Amino acid sequence: MQSYELMELILKVYIYPDGDKPIFHEPHLDGIYASEGWFMKFMEANREFVTRDPEKAHLFYLPYSSRQLQHALYVPDSHNLRPLSEFVRDYANMIAAKYPFWNRTHARDHFLVACHDWGPYTLTLHEELTKNTIKALCNADLSQGIFTLGQDISLPETAIRTPRRPLRNIGGGIRVSQRPILAFFAGNMHGPLRPILLDWWHNKDEDMRIYGPLPIEVSRKMTYVQHMKSSKYCICPRGYNVNSPRIVEAIYYECIPVIISDNFVLPLNDVLDWNAFSVVVAEEDIPKLKEILMAIPLRRYLTMLANLKMVQKHFLWNARPLRYDLFHMILYSIWQSRLNQIEI
């Protein structure tokens, strides 16, 4: 609380004005990569934290969109990310040459926010950008050697379907005693893990509603959102990468997330105790999934559900930022990371 209030009192951020749209200064507000866009939207419109005088800044924001970068520069089906990496490298070199602030700390007080799966890989051609900047990444994978624990921020991946109504359908509304489903998952077969989940649990147990894409005959009776709101636990397996928008969806719909993703740094883990409102299952324990969930006492489940409702406000993109919402929590985590670097 004291650190958060100190942030509100003194933090100043300088946003580099350089760069042309759409890669810079043009937030994309829908889809599963919307987190970076909503943060950019609110950061660039902010009057409380933003300063036009870089000499007064504690942090420097690199306002580019990894999602827009992919749309602008990636050649479909080429499997070649080098043009994206070269673009980001050249941008960092331009900032370092044009302004004195990058070299003053070797970019340790600079930060970026990237939610696209490729975000981390577009940084690799610039050593200081990779090692020194504070990176808020949805693809927070410890096994790749790009995300640094204690320095970088795991950015929640939020699937926004209607930018004009980002909070649509949020809330549970169904009592625990009236939730007929123990665990639910539906989604495409991205990556090697989800087929394993289906092999073990699809059509194997009435309590475990595990699907690939939700079948039409099923969705006609109960939509995807209704399934989540009717389930005690929502299964959130990794896809090709460690992150999944289902984690935040489960929080939105008041369904305890069951996270299956080895090497994933959980979002805002520097602030939130995920053991209090979620279940983490090792990938190798998929065969034991029902056993693990059934072993959780009702009292503990109810406590987790109450905690989940308490932390829900930290994952919301409000029409205008509110204290302790997702915009503020991301900024707070970046602020904390910078303070920790100074103390070290």
Q: What is the pLDDT of residue 196?
A: 98
Handedness of CA 31, 268, 66, 282 (dihedral sign): negative
pLDDT of residue 174 exceeding 60 = yes
- Mapping DSSP to helix (H, G, I), strand (E, B) and coil, where does residue 37 land? helix
Domains of the chain: 2-164+317-343 (no CATH), 176-315 (3.40.50.2000)
The whole-number pLDDT of residue 343 equals: 63
Stated pTM of the model: 0.96
**Residue type, position 63, single letter:** P
Q: What's the CA gap between 91 and 98, in Å, rounded?
A: 11
Q: Is the pLDDT of residue 61 over 90?
A: yes
Cβ atoms of 294 and 252 within 8 Å: the answer is no
Read off the pLDDT of residues 117-165 as tens digits, 9 standing for 90 and up. Answer: 999 999 999 999 999 999 999 999 999 999 999 999 999 999 999 999 9
**Distance of alpha carbon 55 from alpha carbon 18, whole angstroms:** 17
Tell me what pLDDT residue 168 has.
Answer: 84
Mean pLDDT, residues 99-124 taken together: 97
Q: What is the pLDDT of residue 135?
A: 98
Q: State both tokens at 295.
A: 């072993």
pLDDT tens column, 214-254:
999 999 999 999 999 999 999 999 999 999 999 999 999 99
Q: Are 54 and 14 in contact (CB under 8 A)?
A: yes
Strand-by-strand arrangement of the 256-260 sheet:
208-210, 181-185, 231-237, 256-260, 279-280
Report DSSP state, residue 158: -
pLDDT of residue 175: 87
Rounded distance between C-alpha atoms, residue 91 and residue 96, angstroms: 9
Element housing 14 (H / E): strand 13-15
Q: Which has the closest alpha carbon to 27: 168, 167, 163?
A: 163
Dihedral over Cα of 292, 297, 301, 304: its sign: negative
From residue 23, give the alpha-carbon distance in Å to each of 19, 98, 237.
Answer: 8, 19, 30
- CB-based burial of residue 275 (10 Å sphere; 0-12 exposed, 13-18 middle, 19+ buried)? exposed
- Read off the pLDDT of residues 257-288 as tens digits, 9 standing for 90 and up: 999 999 999 999 999 999 999 999 999 999 99
pLDDT of residue 344: 52
| Nearest Cα residue to 239 out of 259, 256, 268 | 259
Q: Which residue has the higher pLDDT, 14 or 3?
A: 14
Measured distance CA(204)–CA(214) in Å, rounded: 16
For residue 111, give the H/E element and its range: strand 110-114
Nearest to 156 by CA among 329, 334, 337, 332: 329
Q: Is the predicted pLDDT of residue 39 greater than 80, yes or no?
A: yes
Per-residue pLDDT at 1:
87
> Starting at the edge strand that comes first in sequence, how are the strands of the sheet with 134-137 ordered?
13-15, 59-61, 110-114, 134-137, 153-154
User: What is the residue-averaged pLDDT of the chain?
Assistant: 96
